[in-house]
Chains A and B, each alone.
Chain A
Amino acid sequence: MSTSLVAGTPNPGEQTGPARVRRERFGFLRAVRGNRKALTGSVLLLVFTVLAIVPQWFTSVSDPNAHEFGLMLSPSATHPLGTTAFGQDILAQLIWGTRQSLVIALAVGGLATVVSVLVGVSAAYLGGPTDGVLSAITDVFLVVPTFPLIVVIAAYAGKGNLPVMIAVLVLTGWSYGARQLRAQALSLRNRDFLESARVRGERRSYIIVCEVLPTMTSLILANFLGAALYAVLTAAGLQFIGLGDNNSVSWGTMLHWAQSNSALQTGQPLWVVAPGVCVALLGAAFALLNYAFDEISNPALRPVRRTRAQRASS
C-alpha cells in the first residue's frame, strides 16, 4: 500500500515511453528520500501497514478481547504494556487494533478523494450554473460543523456499524478537497494542451480523465492524505465517546474503555497513553507526508538549514 503511495502511479493517458516514466519515478523517490518529513511519514505508514496485515506475527495473543489474563497487571516480560481492568493484554490490543484504524483511514481517504475529484473537477470544468450549484453545496458542507452532525447521525443509525462510520466520514470529509481541486482545475481550464485536445475533437470525459486529472496528481494525493488524517482523528473521537463498535478492537475503543474504567485515576496510565500514541503516530504519518508533498511541490516552503542561513548572513 505504502509503496504505491510513495512511488505514484504512471499516468494512464500520457503517451510516454517506459524510460521517461522510470526517470520520473526515480526523481520522485529521490525527492521523498531527501525530505526528512516524507521519509519519517513513509516509514511510520509502512510499519502500521505491516502490523495491520499480519498482526499475528507480532503477538501470541489470538483474541485480544478475551478476558484471559490477570486484571490490571503492571508491565512485565509477558505483558510488556500490562493488562486492562478486564484482563486483556494491552500490547496485543494495540497490534490487533491497527487494522481497523488503517482500514478507516484508507477507505475514507480514498472515497472522500473520489467524491472531491468528481465534484471539484466537474464544477470547474463545466462552469456556469452547474459550477454555482456544486460550489454552493461544497461551501455548505465546508462550514457546517461536521462532528456534531456525525454524532447525531451515528446516534440514530445505531452504534458500531463500520460501513456507516466510513460513509458518514466520507460524507463530511470530502468538501475541503473539492474546493481545492476546483480552484486548481479552474486555473488549468484555459491551458493550451486542453485547448488542443478540444480542437482535436476529444470527448469531454476523455479530456477530464486523461488530460486534466494527471496534471493534478500531486494535489489529489495531498487530498487523500488530508482526508485520511481527518478520518483517523475523527474515528478515534467517535470510538472514544462510545459510538464505535465497542466489542471490536480499535485504538479509539481502547480509549473508550480506559476512560469508562477511570484508568488514569486507578493507576493504569499505559492503558490511556499507548493507544493515544498510536493514533497520534498514524495521524502524524499522514500529516508529515502531507506537509512534505507541500514542500516538494513548493520549494519556497522548505525549511532553511540553520547552518547555511548563518553562513549566508556572515
Chain B
Amino acid sequence: MRYLLHRLGFFVLTLWAAVTVNFAIPRLMPGDPASAMMARFHGRVNPAAIHALEVAFGVNSHQSLWSQYLSYLHNTVTGNFGVSLTYFPLPVSTEIAQAVPWTLGLVGVATVLAFVVGTLVGAVSGWKRGGLVDSVVPPVFVVTSALPYFWVGMILILFFSVMTNGLLPNDGAYDVNLVPSLSPVFIGDVVRHALLPAATILITSIGGWILTMRNNMVTVLAEDYVRMGRAKGLSDRRIMYQYAARNALLPNLAGFAMSLGFVVAGAILVEYVFNYPGLGYMLLNAVNNLDYPLMQALFLMITVAVLVAVLLCDFVTALLDPRTRSS
C-alpha cells in the first residue's frame, strides 16, 4: 500500500512539473513569441479570443506572474485550453477529443502488442540459450532498434504502397469517400489504413523488449530458486513462466514505463508520415501553423497519457511482485 501511495505521489509531482513547464516555456522564450503570434492574429479573430490568449500567455497583462499561474492552473484543471487558432473558433478541447481515439487505437494497441509479443519472444529466447530463436532474433533486433521510426514507415510505404500500386493505403485513417459508421466496410477500411503505421511501430519497438527480456531471463535463470525448482522436479513450463519469466518481467515493466516517452516520439513521427489524424499529427500541424494554444494543450495531453500508462505499470508491478506490497 505504501508503494502505491508513493507512486501516486510521484504521479502527482510529475504531472505538476509538466503543467508548470508548460506554463513557463512561452514566458521564458526569447523574442516574445506570444506577442508575435498576437500580432499575426489581430484583426482575424475576435477581440474576446485575443483577450483570452493574452491572459493565457501573459501578454499585456498587469497581473502578477503568480496570479497568472493560478488562473492557468484553474483553466488546465477544468479542461479549458482556450481557442484553437488553426480551427478558429473551435475550442482546443474539441479538436483534441477528435484526435484521441485514433492515437489510442493505433499507437496504444501497437505499443502494447509490441511489448507483449516482444516479452514473450525474449522469454523464449533467454530460456533456450543458443536455440534457433536465440541465435537469429537478437542480432536482427539490435539493428532494428537503431532504425528511425519515420524512415521505416517511409520504406514500408515504398514497398507496400508505391511499388505495389496502392496495395495498402498510406494516407489518413480511412477513405475520405466513405461515411464514418460502424459498418463492416468502414471498419475494414480503418484496419487497412492502420496496418502500415502499426507495422512500423511494431518493427521498431519490439526489438528493445526482446533484448531486455532475454537478458533479464538469462540473469534470472542463474538464480538459486530456479535451480531449486528444477531439483524439486517442477515442469519446465512452470519454471519458465512462473519462476523465471515472472521475475524477469519486473525490470522489463519498469523499462516499459521509462521507454514510453521514446515510443511516443516515434509514434508522433509515424502519424506525421502517414498523415494519421491523431495527437502527434495534430501537434506537428500546430507547430507548423504556430498555433500555440493547441500545441501546449497537446503536449499536456500526451504527457498525461504517458503518466497514466506509467502509473498502470506501477499497479501491475505491485500485482506481480509481492515484495512491493509488503514493504
Contacts and interface: CB of A to CB of B under 8 A. Distances in A.
Interface string B272-312: 11000000100110011010100110110011001100100
Contacts of B283: 148, 151
B289 to A, nearest CB: 10
Nearest to A36: B139
A144 interface: yes
Nearest to B261: A145
Main secondary structure of the interface of A (DSSP, over half): helix
A75 interface: no
Interface string A274-314: 00100110011011100100100000110111101110000
A52 B272 CA distance: 30
Given A151-B287, A229-B146, A288-B142, A309 B129 contact: yes
Nearest to A233: B148
B154 interface: yes
B287 A280 contact: no
A144 B130 contact: no
B150 interface: yes
Max chain B CB contacts within 10 Å: which of A148, A155, A156, A157? A148
Interface residues of A, number: 57
B130 A155 contact: no
Contacts of B26: 156
Contacts of A231: none
A193 interface: no
B265 A237 contact: yes
Contacts, number: 168
Contacts of B280: 148
A10 interface: no
Given A148-B264, A152-B299, A156-B292, 10 more contacts: A139-B10, A140-B17, A144-B303, A148-B299, A234-B265, A264-B157, A283-B147, A287-B146, A305-B130, A306-B135
19 contacts: A37-B142, A140-B17, A144-B261, A148-B298, A155-B292, A155-B295, A156-B25, A230-B262, A237-B149, A237-B266, A240-B150, A241-B269, A255-B150, A255-B154, A279-B148, A279-B151, A294-B215, A303-B139, A309-B129
The 8 A-B pairs with the shortest beta carbon distances in the complex, nearest first, are: A147-B265, A309-B130, A283-B146, A304-B130, A276-B151, A145-B261, A156-B29, A284-B146
Interface of B: 10, 13-14, 17-18, 21, 25-26, 29-31, 33, 129-131, 134-135, 138-139, 142-143, 145-151, 154-155, 157-158, 162, 211, 215, 218-219, 222, 257-258, 260-262, 264-266, 268-269, 272-273, 280, 283-284, 287-288, 290, 292, 295-296, 298-299, 302-303, 306-307, 310
